[in-house]
Chains A and B, each alone.
Chain A
């Protein structure tokens, strides 16, 4: 086994460049290194100007998502040795504006997540005596969809996100679905108004890549298709049983 590997890292300096370019770095190829370790090695020893996000280095904060050989991955969970002999192409997550080097602008994503009202919505003012009791079955109903760490790998994987920047995207829809399925929530109707739009669930064409790249097993594609079923059921109900203001 060679003891070094080449990383081709996408660089973009907004004050200087109009387009990104690639810069090659030779880093040690250690058996226990993740791609993130290679990047921090570059920053520490080779080029301090390399800019990228990372934090927990254990796959829970969602900061270190990047394109590695064209596939969106968490760099802290991607073993460097898997790409030997290399080279490894590292780039910022696609379908997002690039601020600098490997850092993307996430404002749009944040707005989309907030838009779906990702909190318990109550229509009454029920106040439980202690906490709001849930059975294990009620938790199991939505638990999988609550595991999202907002890493936005799914947005990078989804071609519709690239084709239509208005698409609210897999994570936002999965989060809305998580609250719809929560027995404590009464916000289904409110969220349907927001999510059952063309740039909501109906833009999804079931490519399925979002669920493939999700590092936490959220399966946003399942959430979106379930949401389509819910929205269709509600559509038929409102069509066949028209009701006034509720």
Chain B
């Protein structure tokens, strides 16, 4: 009688690359989108500094304004704005349709969920801008 040995499965378990997000353009887009969070934190801290400077007096606020004029800070702010705009656009295209689907309980075109958010965004931007510019 032939000697049979028990089957010992030896599957190959691949390891995920540490740079997996570079393998696909969609993964890289995801990584960039998530990186916007660092710039959100950055400008929140800048705003805290601005509030502190405002409370401390005109000279301190002038220092803050000078800091904002530094070329490095300007570049950082421009990059931050780009990332936060990326966040806003991807957010409005992804999140509202989930809430809409939850409420309506049936498939609807994504634009119905996204478009009102863009409109609110423009409205909010306008109103806050008018307050900041001292029109109100």
Task: Give the interface of A toward B (CB within 8 A).
Answer: 12, 14-15, 17-20, 70-71, 94-95, 97-99, 105, 137, 140-141, 144, 159, 162-163, 181, 205-209, 212, 222, 225-226, 229-230
Q: Could you name 8 residue pairs across A and B whose Cβ atoms are closer than 8 Å?
A: A70-B23, A70-B24, A98-B12, A99-B9, A99-B11, A105-B11, A137-B105, A209-B27
Judge if B16 is at the interface, Cβ distance under 8 Å: yes
Residues of B within 8 A of A141 (CB): 105-106
Contact with A along B81-104 (1 / 0, CB 8 A): 000000000000011011101100
Query: How many Å lie between the Cα of A181 and that of B98 in the bound state?
Result: 14
Cβ-defined partner of A140 (8 Å) among B12, B94, B107:
B107
How many residue pairs at the A-B interface have CB separations less than 8 Å?
Answer: 69
Query: How many Å lie between the Cα of A222 and that of B102 in the bound state?
Result: 10
Report B62 CB to chain A, min CB distance, Å.
42
Query: How many Å lie between the Cα of A95 and that of B14 in the bound state?
Result: 7
Q: Is the CB of A159 within 8 A of B20?
A: yes
Report A234 CB to chain B, min CB distance, Å.
13
Residues of B within 8 A of A226 (CB): 98, 101-102
Q: Is the CB of B101 within 8 A of A222?
A: yes
Cβ-defined partner of B11 (8 Å) among A95, A97, A159, A207:
A97
Residues of B within 8 A of A19 (CB): 12
Report A213 CB to chain B, min CB distance, Å.
10
Residues of B within 8 A of A14 (CB): 9-12
Interface residues on B, range: 20 to 34
Cβ-defined partner of B12 (8 Å) among A20, A71, A137, A205:
A20
Q: Is the CB of A208 within 8 A of B11?
A: no
Task: Give the interface of B toward A (CB within 8 A).
Answer: 9-14, 16, 20-21, 23-24, 26-27, 30, 34, 94-95, 97-99, 101-102, 105-107
Report A28 CB to chain B, min CB distance, Å.
30
Q: Is the CB of B102 within 8 A of A229?
A: yes
Q: Is the CB of A208 within 8 A of B30?
A: yes
Residues of B within 8 A of A70 (CB): 23-24
Query: How many Å lie between the Cα of A225 and that of B95 in the bound state?
Result: 8
Query: How many Å lie between the Cα of A98 and that of B15 in the bound state?
Result: 12
Report B94 CB to chain A, min CB distance, Å.
7
Known A15-B10, A159-B16, A229-B98; 11 more pairs at CB < 8 Å: A14-B10, A95-B16, A97-B11, A97-B12, A97-B13, A137-B105, A159-B27, A162-B20, A207-B30, A208-B30, A209-B27
Residues of A within 8 A of B30 (CB): 207-209
Residues of A within 8 A of B99 (CB): 229
Residues of B within 8 A of A20 (CB): 12
Report A1 CB to chain B, min CB distance, Å.
27
Residues of B within 8 A of A95 (CB): 16
Residues of A within 8 A of B102 (CB): 226, 229-230
Residues of A within 8 A of B98 (CB): 222, 225-226, 229
Cβ-defined partner of A163 (8 Å) among B12, B14, B16:
B16
Report B50 CB to chain A, min CB distance, Å.
31
Residues of B within 8 A of A212 (CB): 26
Residue of B nearest to A229 (CB): B102
Residue of B nearest to A162 (CB): B16
Residues of B within 8 A of A207 (CB): 26-27, 30
Residue of A nearest to B34 (CB): A205
Query: How many Å lie between the Cα of A208 and that of B33 in the bound state?
Result: 12
Residues of B within 8 A of A137 (CB): 105-106
Q: Is the CB of B106 within 8 A of A98?
A: no
Q: Is the CB of B27 within 8 A of A94?
A: no
Report B49 CB to chain A, min CB distance, Å.
30
